[in-house]
Amino acid sequence: MPTGKNPQNSGQNDMRMLISFIIMAVIFTSVLNIFMSAMTTRKATEITYTEFLQMLTQKQVQTVEIQADRLVITEKPQQNEEENAFYGLRARQYYTGIVDDPQLTDRIIASGATQYRAVENNSPILSFLATWVLPFLLIYGISGLILRSVMKKMGGGVGGPMSFGKNTAKIYAQKETGVTFADVAGQEEAKESLQEIVDFLHKPERYTAIGAKLPKGALLVGPPGTGKTLLAKAVAGEANVPFYSLSGSDFVEMFVGVGASRVRDLFKQALENAPCIVFIDEIDAIGKSRDNQMGGNDEREQTLNQLLSEMDGFDASKGVVILGATNRPEVLDKALLRPGRFDRRVIVDKPDLKGREDILKVHIKDVKLTDDVDLHQIALATSGAAGADLANIVNEAALRAVRFGREKVEQADLMEAVEIIIAGQEKKDRIMTESERKIVAYHEVGHALATALQKNTQPVQKITIVPRTMGALGYTMQMPEEEKYLMNKEEILDQITTYLAGRGAEEVIFHTVTTGASNDIEKATELARNMVAQYGMSERFDMVGLESIQNKYLDGRNVRNCAETTSAAIDEEVLKIIKQCHQKAIKLLEANQPALHKIAAFLLEKETITGEEFMKLLQEEEAVALQKA
Ligand code: ADP
Ligand code: MG
Ligand code: ZN
C-alpha cells in the first residue's frame, strides 16, 4: 500500500550518480578491450611474406584469413597435433602484412588451403558495437545495480515500502494494520486510555464541537516485548486509519540535518493523509535529554528540535495522533513530555497472572490442543514473562509437538517450552562423569529439600539433572500456587536459604565445594543486598534508601545513593544475612541426610522427577525429618 511521492530534490543527485556510472563503465570497457586484444595477438606469430609463400608451397597451410590489414595463417596440424586439435587445442597461427599480390588466390588454391575473408571487418559498426557498446552497457547495468543496493543500505532510500525524497528512511506505511484491541491481551488499562484516541480519530467533530482539545501524542512506556508496537498498530486498526511508523534510530544518521529533514517529511506525509497515526518506535534514540553528560550530539539535537517544533506546529483537530514508544522514559528530554506534546503516558507493563493467561489464549487460538492443556498452570509458571515470551512459548510448544510427530499440542509441550525459554534446550549429548552427575544430583535435591522443609516457600515443580544449553547442569523448578505481589522478610530469607542449600548439600555429603553454585550465589547475594539497601529490612539501616533502580524497564541496574563507608557497611550486613542462611541450610540438610540420599539416588536413576514424586519420597522418609528441621 505504498503511496509514493515523486522525489523532488533528487534530480541533481541522480545526475551526479549517472555521470559516475558512465565514467566507471568507460574505464572498465577500455581495460577490457586492451586485455582482449593482448589475448588475441599473443596467439599468432608474425612471419614474413616470403615465409608465408614458402609454407604455401610446402602445403603446410590449412586456412588463410584475409583481414583488413593482415593475413592470418593457420598451419595444418602435424601428425601428433591432430590429437591436440581433437582435444580442443588450437593449431598454430601466424600473421603477415598484406602485399599487393594478384596471384595470391591462385597460390592458395594450388596449395590446397582455404581462403576466406573475415566478415566482421567489413562492418566496423558491428565490431564497434561488440567491443565497446555491449560491454559498456553490461558494466553500466551491473555497477548501477550494485551502487543502488549500497545506497539503499546506507539509507539513501531507493524504493522501500514508501519513498519520499532522497533522504528518506524506510517509513513503514500501512493503510490497514489488521490488528485490533482483541489481539492485545492483558493490557486493559492501556487499551482504556488509548480508546479515547480511537474515538477521536473516528469522530473528531464530536470533540471539536465542544471545544475539547485532544492530546497530540501519547507515549507508550514499558519493558521490551510487552506489546507497545502491537498496541500502536491496534489503535490504528481500531480507528481504521493509516499507520505511519518509523523507528527512532532511523532518524539518526551520520550527517547533520538528515534526521531533521526526515521528521519534516514524515509530518508532511501524515498531514496530507490525515486522519492517521504516526508512530515513532524507540523514541529514546532521538529524544534523549539534551543536557546529559559530555558534549552534545548536533545531529540528534537538531532532529529533536525539529520534532518538537513539528509537534507544536500541527493542528491536532486534523486528526493526526503521534504515538511514541520507549523502554527508557527517564532519559527522555523534558521538553518532549510537556503538555501539547507527548503529554499522555500509557504504561504497558509486564502482564500479571490473568494477563499472561489471556495472552496465551490469544496466541494459542489457532493451535490444536489436547484436553489436558491447562493455560492457568502455564501462566503460573511464567511469572515475569512478557507478551513476546509467551508468544514464543506457544510456538516452541507447537514445534515440539511436530518434532514428536503429534498432531496436537500437549501440556508437556508447553511446560517444556517454558523451560526452554528459561534454561535453554536440553543438551543430552553432554557427557558428564559419574561423580559429576552425583554432585549435581545432590546439589539439586539440596535446593528441593530446603524448599520443602521451610514454611515460606513455593512448592517444587520439577527436579532434573539433564544439562541445558544455557549452562545449567541441572535445576530445580519452583512454582507458586498463586501470584504474589508482595514478599515478606521471612519469605526472602527462606528463598535465600533455598538458593544456598545446593552448595550446602555438596558440603554435607562430599565435604568439598564446586564451581556449580555461582548462579545461586549471585541470586542470593542480590536478594540479601536488596533487603538491606532497598527494602529497609535491616536493623542497622532502618528504612534508609541506599540504592535505587535505574532503567526500571530494562536490566534494572542498581545505583548507589550513599557514602563509600556506608557502602562498606552494607556489604557487612549482606555478609551477615548470607552467613545466617548458609548455616541454616546446612543444619537443615544434616538433619535430613536419609531423605537427601534416597531422593538423590532416585534422581540419578530417573534424571528428571516431578514435584509429586519428590513429595511422595519425602513423606515416605517420614515426618520425623520435617519436625527435626
Ligand atoms: P514491544 O514493542 O513492547 O517491545 P511488541 O509489540 O513488538 O513489543 O511485541 C512483540 C510480540 O509479542 C507481538 O507481536 C505479539 O505477538 C506478542 N505480544 C506482546 N505483548 C502482547 C500482548 N499483550 N498480547 C498479545 N500478544 C503480545
Ligand atoms: Mg517495539
Ligand atoms: Zn543450584
Residues 302-359: pLDDT tens digits?
Answer: 888 888 888 887 777 778 889 999 988 888 888 888 887 887 889 999 999 999 999 9
Cis peptide before 275 (omega within 30 of 0): yes
What residues have their beta carbon closer than 5 A to ion ligand 2?
A: 229
Residue bearing the CA closest to ligand 1, atom 6: 227
Residues 221-267: pLDDT tens digits?
Answer: 999 999 999 999 999 899 888 888 888 777 766 666 777 888 888 88
Assigned fold of 353-423: Helicase, Ruva Protein; domain 3 (1.10.8)
What's the average model confidence in pLDDT over 108-112?
Answer: 80
By the 8 A CB rule, do 604 and 441 touch?
yes
Tell me what pLDDT residue 493 has: 96
Pick among 3.40.50.1970, 3.40.50.11540, 3.40.190.10, 3.40.50.300: CATH of 170-347: 3.40.50.300
Q: Given the CA of residue 186, which atom of ligand 1 is nearest to it? A: 23
By the 8 A CB rule, do 343 and 322 touch?
no
State the burial class of residue 498 (Cβ atoms within 10 Å of its Cβ: 0-12, 13-18, 19+).
Answer: buried
Share of the chain above pLDDT 90, in %: 37
Q: At a CB cut-off of 8 Å and minimum separation 6, what does 200 contact?
A: 207, 214, 319, 321
Band (pLDDT 50/70/90 cuts) for residue 38 is low
CB of 503 within 6 A of ligand 1: the answer is no
- C-alpha 401/C-alpha 423 separation (Å) is 19
CATH architecture of 45-117: 2-Layer Sandwich (3.30)
Does 1.20.58.760 match the CATH number of domain 434-628? Answer: yes
Ligand 1 midpoint to CA 180 (Å): 13
What's the average model confidence in pLDDT over 181-197?
Answer: 91
Pocket mutation for ligand 1, best pick of 184, 226, 280 (most atoms within 8 Å of C-beta)? 226
CB of 359 within 6 A of ligand 1: the answer is yes
Residue type, 532: V
> φ and ψ at 281, to 5 degrees?
-80, 155
The contacts found for 576-579 with CB under 8 angstroms, 24 or more apart, are 577/493, 577/496, 577/528, 577/531, 577/532, 577/538, 578/496, 578/500, 578/524, 578/525, 578/528
Which ligand places an atom closest to the C-alpha of 234?
A: 1
Domain ranges, ordered by start, for the chain: 7-39+124-153, 45-117, 170-347, 353-423, 434-628
Pocket mutation for ligand 1, best pick of 230, 350, 361 (most atoms within 8 Å of C-beta)? 230
Among the listed ranges 91-100, 442-451, 586-595, which one has the minimum average pLDDT value?
91-100
CB of 220 within 6 A of ligand 1: the answer is no
State the burial class of residue 109 (Cβ atoms within 10 Å of its Cβ: 0-12, 13-18, 19+).
Answer: exposed
Band (pLDDT 50/70/90 cuts) for residue 297 is low
By the 8 A CB rule, do 538 and 573 touch?
yes
Band (pLDDT 50/70/90 cuts) for residue 9 is very low
- How many CB atoms sit inside 10 A of residue 619's CB? 13
Residues 507-523: pLDDT tens digits?
Answer: 999 999 999 899 999 99
Residues 400-431: pLDDT tens digits?
Answer: 999 999 999 999 999 999 988 877 777 777 77
What mean pLDDT value characterizes the chain?
81
pLDDT at 624 over 70: no
Active site residues: 444
